[in-house]
Amino acid sequence: MTTERGRQVRERLLAAATHLIADRGWSAVSTRVLAEQAGVGPGLVHYHYPSLRALLNEAALDSMTAVAEQAAAGLQGTSPHEGLELMLGALEAYPGDDPTSVLFVEVYLAATRDEELRRGITAILQRFRAVLADWLRAGGVADPEATARILASAIDGVMLHRALDPHLDAATAAPVLSRLLPPDAGRPPAADHSTQGRTA
């Protein structure tokens, strides 16, 4: 199998796994069903992945990484209060019954029984918290690491709880979560490039 052909098959398998986790539930995904969804033979699943679990884990972690990166993408150059509104506004794309929200619920449940998956989720959360902490520090927020942990947990919780409470939207959450930030938390200072290239 050529490298390009192999890459395409892996992409189809990952896309199929992502869809099926949300559509049928983690435990209902079988090798046969996944191969049918991807339009490939069942043997290709184990050709590309050591196990069905490894494939499901990769698909789930890729999806969670994409959501975390999207949440952090627009933070640079914003004040803490502006960035918080942006992150909460992005959650409007996840009303609770959408495939991504359902996938998150399924993945968190599966992680209670899968140490490898749990470690993968923890790594994603740590990277997201690190980005938040750097951004909060640049905005003058005291104890940025602890604030980042609580803020990340709260945003994640809002996303998960929207399936149970459709009225839990950005307009409701923003005034409450903004209390975690000092009122005068400002925009990070612009980088000074005036001395670049000079020698001391």
Per the CB < 8 A criterion, the answer to whether 57 and 114 are in contact is yes
Taking the alpha carbons at both ends of the chain, their separation in whole angstroms is: 57
Residues in the chain: 200
Q: Which helix (H) or strand (E) holds 96?
A: none
* Residue 96 Ramachandran class (φ > 0 left, ψ -120 to 50 alpha, else beta): left
Count up the domains in the chain and report the number. Answer: 1
Q: Does residue 154 fall inside a structural domain?
A: yes
Say which CATH number the domain at 156 has.
1.10.357.10
* Secondary-structure percent of the chain, ordered helix, strand, coil, rounded to 5: 70, 0, 30
Amino acid sitting at position 40: V
For 30-61, what is each residue's pLDDT tens digit?
999 999 999 999 999 989 999 999 999 999 99
The parent domain of residue 104 ranges over 53-180
Q: Does residue 27 fall inside a structural domain?
A: no
pTM flag (> 0.75): yes
Q: Does residue 95 fall inside a structural domain?
A: yes
